[in-house]
Structure 1
Amino acid sequence: MKVRDIMSTKVVTVSPSTSVRDIAGLMVERHVSGLPVLNDNGTLVGMVSEGDLLRRPEIGTQKHRRRWVSFFSGVDEQAREFTKSHALRAGDVMTEQVIHVSEETPLGEVVGLMEKHNIKRLPVLSDGKLVGIVSRADLLRALAARQADPLPPPAKSDATIRAAMNDVLKNEEWAMSAMVNVIVSEDVVHLWGVIDSGDQRQALRVAAENIPGVTAVEEHLSFSLPT
């Protein structure tokens, strides 16, 4: 799937002159955790997130540095912190270096960007203009929709299930060290052998459960002795 398949196209935006108070109100009212900032030409110039509004003197959450700590932090850093916590408009609290994606970006790449940069949402641009936003919530909705799809047809035989499980053992890097024999009887997968860890055991069970036609998984596994 790609971004265009799940993105939200009705995006609430603000301008650089929008007040911090109005931004907070919009986030609460629209149940969003971040807002794109557009200039008068409709160009994306930044993002304001919940994190940008956490350190505020209005609610007593601004940073209070001890004098000796301030000595080791640069003047510029202290100035930026003051601006972020005391600014009145979006243009002064927003993050200017915005990571964005296109409508054709694969969802795997989206998740990778979210994990790498610890962000919850990504603006979607087309020809430099904002056309949508994709968030963690959109990814969860996509997952929920796929879970509601009809299940794939069951495997035709125990032999087919066994072949599919053996493919996992041969092709998944985490499984290659496992000395496991797979026996399938009446759609029940029996795993016999020696494994390295509990994580490996869990992954083997999950792999078996994902094979169409499997009704149960029985584990007969032991751990290898440390060398």
Structure 2
Amino acid sequence: MLVQAIMTLPVITVPTCCSVAEAAQLMLDNRISGLPVVDTNGALVGIVSEGDFLRRSELNTQRNRPWLLDWLTSPGKIATEYVRTHGRRVDEVMTSPVSAIAPTASVSDAVRLMERYDIKRLPVVENGKLVGIIARSDLLRALSRALPTTSPSPDDAQIQAAIEAEFAKQSWSRNGFIHCHVSDGIAELTGTIFDERERLAAKVAAENVAGVQSVRDLLVWIDPYYGIALPPPDAEARQP
């Protein structure tokens, strides 16, 4: 899936000369948490977000360091912080430079950038001009469309084959110690695991297969150091 398929457009932007007050009101009016900042040619030069307004002199939330730490901090850093807490124009408080992505890039590339830089939105730029923006809400909408709304009803053999195929693709279950048997849409997981985190992964893999009504966990955990085996959580459910 490409970025251009899920990005938001047109994009609400602000010019560099916009005031902080106007930008804040624009975000409130449109219920958005960030605004790309563009120059007179429409080129992206920065982004201003709610995070840029957290520390403001008007709210008395500017950073106050202990005197020793303040003495050790460089005057230039303190001056920069002063501008961000007292600046009246967007270009004085915005984040710049800004990470951006092309509309023809993959959504996975966009997610990778968002995770790497811990950002909530990513401007989309083509030929130096802002053409869209992709935010976490766009990813959520794409996920909502991708998830099945109805569950088909394949037979038990098909369901079991699909679960086993998923297990075969994953490194944590490829060792063949996790087994599955499906009856009346109930996926019963048996076998052994050596890491408790594999239990939830196996249950999630089974739950994601169309037609699964429920998952019965009969996996036995064996402590890899002491060889102690603990009974599965659903062991009692197996009793007649």
TM range (shorter): over 0.9
Find the residue that maps to 2:15 and give its secondary structure: coil
Distance 2:151 2:99 in 1: 37
Out of 201, 207, 210, the position equivalent to 1:209 is 207
Structure 2 counterpart of 1:219: 217
Q: Which residue does the alignment assign to 1:141?
A: 141
Give unmatched runs, 5+ long, in structure 1.
Answer: none
Cα 1:198–1:178 change in 2 (3 A) is farther
Name the amino acid aligned to 1:61.
T
C-alpha distance in 2 between matches for 1:186 and 1:65:
64
Which range moves more in the overlay, 189-198 or 127-136? 189-198
Equivalent residue letter for 1:217 = V
1:178, 1:194 within 8 Å by CA — same for their partners in 2? no
Letter aligned with residue 171 of structure 1? K
Q: Is the 8 A contact 2:34 2:49 kept in 1?
A: yes
For the 8 Å contact 2:17–2:89, the answer to whether it is kept is yes
| Stretch moving more, 128-137 or 196-205 | 196-205
The question of whether the paired residues in 2 share the 8 Å contact of 1:39 and 1:45 is answered with yes
1:95 deviates by 1.2
* 1:58-88: CA deviation from partner (whole Å, max 9, x where unpaired): 1111111222011222222111111111111
Out of 159, 165, 168, the residue aligned to residue 166 of structure 2 is 168
Q: Displacement, 1:152?
A: 6.3
1:106 is aligned to 2:106: yes
Offset at residue 178 of structure 1 (A): 6.5
Match of 1:17 in 2: 17
Deviation string 1:127-161 (CA, Å, 9 cap, x unpaired) is 111111110111112222333x5546443x43332
The residue number in structure 1 matching 2:129 is 129
The reply on whether 1:88 has 2:113 as its aligned counterpart is no
Q: TM-score, normalised by structure 2?
A: 0.87
Distance in 2, Cα, partners of 1:120 & 1:84:
20
Can you list the C-alpha shifts for 1:22-41, whole angstroms capped at 9, x where unaligned?
11111111111111111111
- 1:194 positional shift: 1.1
Find the counterpart in structure 1 of residue 48 from structure 2. 48
Aligned twin of 2:237: none
Distance 2:49 2:163 in 1: 44
* Aligned-residue RMSD, C-alpha: 1.7
Return the offset for 1:170. 2.2
Matched residues in 2 for 1:42 and 1:105: separation? 21
Q: 1 CA distance for matches of 2:222 and 2:175?
A: 10
TM-score (norm 1): 0.92
- Structure-2 separation of matches of 1:165 and 1:144: 23
Query: Structure 1 residues 127, 50: CA separation in 2 closer, same or farther (over 3 Å shift)?
Result: same
CA contact (8 A) 2:167 2:205 kept: no
Distance in 2 of aligned mates of 1:213 and 1:99: 42
Whether 1:194 aligns to 2:192 is yes
Q: Would the aligned equivalents of 1:193 and 1:222 in 2 still touch at CA under 8 Å?
A: yes
Unaligned runs of 5+ in 2: 226-240
Distance of 2:174 and 2:82 partners within structure 1: 53
Aligned to 2:177: 179
How far apart, CA to CA, are the structure 2 residues paired with 1:144 and 1:169? 25
Confirm or deny: 8 A CA contact 2:57 2:86 kept in the other structure: yes
Identical columns (%)? 40
Is 1:57 the counterpart of 2:37? The answer is no
